[in-house]
Structure 1
Amino acid sequence: MVSFRLLHSHLKVLSDNDLKRTRTDEGFKRAFATLFDQDVKTFTGTMFLNLDQLEKQLDKEEFQEIGSIASFRVFKTHFQKFFNSRFSLDDDDGLMTCNYFLEYTRIEVKQFHDTLIQHIESVKKLIDERALQKREYDSRVNERHIDIKAKKVDMSKALDDSLVITKSSGTEFKKQDTSTRSGNEDADNADIKTVYNKEPMAEVQLTVECNVLDTEHQHIEQPKFNNGGEVD
């Protein structure tokens, strides 16, 4: 804001109160009306109002390019008549105008004119630099937002893929578990069938053994008869 402060200080010489109601003051008013095509009080009042508006734009925490450029254009246009003025010293009126301006402001008209343009160009450069910085900052912020969104999408996709894999693994596990249990049940059924197949053989063998024992018992307990038919 150095360039703005210099501009403000440079313009304050147009409203010096120390020379009021003097011959120089009256001569300066006529000279000012010739150079700026407006009375000094009206011109300086509007000038400082526009300057305040420009300062408010430049002092904002968040720079607004459109508002700053608009305020700058209004301020610069206010001096258009003075920028187009010719400072001729060839006639008495031109010489008197320049002399009264010098006596009041202590600056020659040509020097004031050139210095004012330099300060205005410096302020315009300040606005352009801040506008560029703001665009670069906004671009970086937008890039970060895009990166964050892209990362969120990737994470969401990764989570979805993980859920699909987990569900697939659970299905495979159920299939394997069902297959294992089916195999075990088949094996158990096979064992049961084997036992059932073996039991009839055991019953036949047991029946045969019982028959043999009965036969042997009958032979043992069969009574003996003598020749007379009596039991011994």
Structure 2
Amino acid sequence: METKDTLSSCSNSEEQQMQQIQDKAKKSCMVSFRQLHSHLKLLSNNDLKGTRTECGFKRAFATLFGQDVETFTGTMFLNMDQLEKQLDKEEFQEIGSMAAFKVLETQFQMFIKSRMYLDDEFVVMTRNYFLQYTQLAIPEFRDTLIQHMESVKKSIDERAKHKEEYNSWVNERQMQTTEDKVDSSKALDASLVDTESSGTH
């Protein structure tokens, strides 16, 4: 009986450990998400509403992103909300999280891949307004964005890996329990047979 108790207490502490690893992975996922979120909020600076800087930034933004800033950031915040909902779920779902991440990533593809701001003269104004508005130079904004995106993607992968490990551990435990039940019922049958046969002598 003692070994059974030891086994179950072992599996309990193991389960707690597994749970802690998953909780930790979720936390780091949310930290990455929040860093990306606060970086993207630079594209929506409420303090500069109605200023010349905002006006110049709107033109600069349309040049860089191929879309007006209100439409783009409106969609961006919706996409961010979707991603947050997925990442914040107790029961992590890799497919949903990755899908929400891809939507956001796709939204920024044109800007990330664009090289137009690196050389042309007319872009000087664009650069200046972008810097004044976001407090970051365009290449710096872009590189930090890529960094945060990669960090979120990596943390989603990490969570998926831990979830898989946890699921296979649970399956193993269930199989073990089933085998134990089969063994004990076989032992019970055998002892019944023994008592029956000894009774017939």
Aligned to 2:14: none
Return the offset for 1:54: 1.0
Residue 120 of structure 2 corresponds to which residue in structure 1? Answer: 91
* Among candidates 70, 77, 84, match of residue 106 of structure 2: 77
Q: Match of 1:125? A: 154
Counterpart selection for 2:177 from 138, 141, 148: 148
Alignment match, 2:45: 16
Residue in structure 1 matched with residue 16 of structure 2 by the alignment: none
Unaligned runs of 5+ in 2: 1-29
4+ residue runs over 2 A deviation: 87-93
Q: Quickly say closer, same or farther: Cα 1:89–1:114, change in 2 above 3 A.
A: closer
The 3-state SS of whatever aligns with 1:88 is: helix
The amino acid of 2:46's aligned partner reads N
Deviations 1:93-152 (A, max 9, x none): 211111111111111000000000000101111111111110111111111001000000
1:163 deviates by: 1.4
Whichever structure has more helix as a proportion of its residues is 2
Correspondence for 2:198 among 166, 169, 176: 169
Over the residues paired in the alignment, what is the CA RMSD in angstroms?
A: 1.2
Question: Where does structure 1 lack aligned partners over 5 or more consecutive residues?
Answer: 173-232
Task: Give the aligned residue type for 1:157.
Answer: K
Shift of 1:55: 1.1
Match of 1:113?
A: 142
Contact in 2 for aligned 1:87/1:110 (Cα 8 Å): no
Deviation at 1:88, TM superposition (A): 3.3
TM-score after normalising by structure 2:
0.82
- Contact 1:89/1:95 (<8 A) preserved: no
**CA deviation after TM superposition for structure 1 residue 89, in Å:** 5.1
Partner of 2:89: 60
Residue 4 of structure 1 is matched in structure 2 by: 33
Identity %: 70
Question: Matches of 1:17 and 1:88 in 2, distance apart?
Answer: 25
**How many aligned residue pairs are there?**
172
* 3-state DSSP of counterpart to 2:49: coil
Secondary structure of 2:47's match?
Answer: coil
Change (3 A) 1:113 1:89: closer
Structure with max Cα Rg: 1
CA deviation vs aligned residue, 1:61-97 (integer Å, no higher than 9, x gap)? 1211111111111111110111111143543321111
1:30 deviation in Å?
1.0
Q: Which amino acid aligns with 2:162?
A: Q
Normalized against structure 1, the TM-score is what? 0.71
SS at match of 1:107: coil
Contact 1:87 1:98 in 2 (8 A): no
